[in-house]
Amino acid sequence: MKWVVFVLLAANLGLAIFAYVRERIPNPDAQLLRQQINADQVRIVAPRPPPAVPVAAAPVAGTCVQWGSFGAADVPKARAAIDALALGERVRKAEVFVSTSYWVYIPPLKSRSDMERKSNELKERGITKYSPLLETGRWRYSISLGVFRSEESAKKHLAFLREKGVRSAQVGEREQRITRTAFLLRDPTEEHFAQLGSLKASFPGSDVRAVDCPPS
């Protein structure tokens, strides 16, 4: 009968081992429950958007930018520089009128006697450089107080005259204009403005500015 006792002991030992192992095996339902308990720690990561592709600025419709102006000797060099930008038919050459000088003057007075009286007032204020204009025309009986190559210089002289008490003097363009060449770019982008700005640095005296587009 001893073998029966050994069989029963082996069966009990096997049952005990099974129970022990079963306690150690993870329970799937228990894991799911723990995940639900810690649901506040779960983060949803949104997919990253693809990197943006740089897009050139769109042209500003209906506007033009002018680069210039150039004398006849500088036109070929300027033409070659702007052609290198490969802007195609959007660029056109244009003729512009430029004032060659500015002057400070007293507008035409009513009569010669008024002009002479104003001339005497200038002398009394210590101003001796002036020229009364007597020829027939729109400037008859006006007084020229100086001719200058730039508007800035003319304005400085006007300020000097104002300090002397001359209140009727003005600055104006001389009616002597020359024709020069500029380049017009239609519907420019910001990149075009930057390109023309770099050309400006290579051509002292030129400028880049927005202008009204001429009729097509």
Domain boundaries in the chain? 63-96+178-212, 102-173
Give the C-alpha separation, 94 to 73, whole Å. 16
Quick check: 101 and 174 in contact, CB under 8 A?
Answer: yes
Specify the CATH number of the domain 63-96+178-212: 3.30.70.2030
Q: Locate tokens 């081992």: which residue?
A: 17
Give the C-alpha separation, 69 to 75, whole Å. 9
Q: Which two tokens stand for residue 159?
A: 């300020």
Half-sphere exposure of residue 19: CA atoms within 13 angstroms, side-chain side: 6
pLDDT higher for 37 or 177?
177
Give the C-alpha separation, 148 to 104, whole Å. 8
Confidence (pLDDT) at 64:
86
- Give the single-character DSSP code of 51: P
pLDDT band at 17 (very low <50, low <70, confident <90, very high): low
Instruction: Kindly tell me if the per-residue pLDDT of 12 is higher than 70.
Output: no
Quick check: 131 and 144 in contact, CB under 8 A?
Answer: yes
Question: What is the mean pLDDT of the segment spanning 90-105?
Answer: 86
Could you report the per-residue pLDDT of 126-182, keeping only the tens digit for each? 998 899 999 889 999 999 999 887 889 999 999 999 999 999 999 998 866 778 899
Region class of 205: left (phi > 0), else alpha (psi between -120 and 50), else beta: left
Q: Which two tokens stand for residue 173?
A: 């363009």
pLDDT higher for 143 or 13?
143
Q: What is the mean pLDDT of the chain?
A: 77
Instruction: Pick the closest to residue 129 from 101, 93, 95, 169 (CA basis).
Output: 169
